[in-house]
Amino acid sequence: MIDAKEEYTLGLKEKISGDIIGLVIIKNINREIADAEVAYCLDANFGRKGLITKAVNGIGRFAKEECHLKTLFIMAHKTNIPSVRVAEKTGYDWSETQLKSFKPVNETNALDMEKFVKVL
């Protein structure tokens, strides 16, 4: 059953080579409140083409129709302008700043992250 999954990872493939150029992930799924986080990454050589925007919209439909989720959220650092723009372009609204909520690998200090939320 698809609802039993704890995480979904989808690869974005380059049309000609079939190489994976990005990922879109539904994670931190909370079945009790039908909520989950969307995360994404893309090879820098494929940026500024709207690929992640399309993928985030698509995974939103998947989350609603197949996973029966009601809300999704994206966490982004305020200096990650491309990620913030993806959140805004795909209909996510800024919700709050979560203080010291993300600690990058090999870093000593945690970062404040911006939370963007979308009701499906």
Q: Which pLDDT band, with edges at 50, 70 and 90, does 5 fall under?
A: confident
Residue 47: CATH number of its domain? 3.40.630.30
pLDDT digits (tens, 9 = 90+) for 66-116: 999 999 999 999 999 999 999 999 999 999 999 999 999 998 999 999 999
Number of independent structural domains in the chain: 1
Taking residues 32-46, report their average pLDDT. Answer: 96
CB–CB of 76/83 below 8 Å?
yes
Residue 62 belongs to domain spanning:
2-119
Angle between helices 81-89 and 51-65 (to 10 degrees): 50
- Write the single-letter amino acid at 60: G
- Write the single-letter amino acid at 58: G
Q: Rounded to two decimals, what is the model's pTM?
A: 0.92
Pairing of strands 93-102, 111-119: antiparallel
Q: Identify the residue with better confidence: 5 or 113.
A: 113
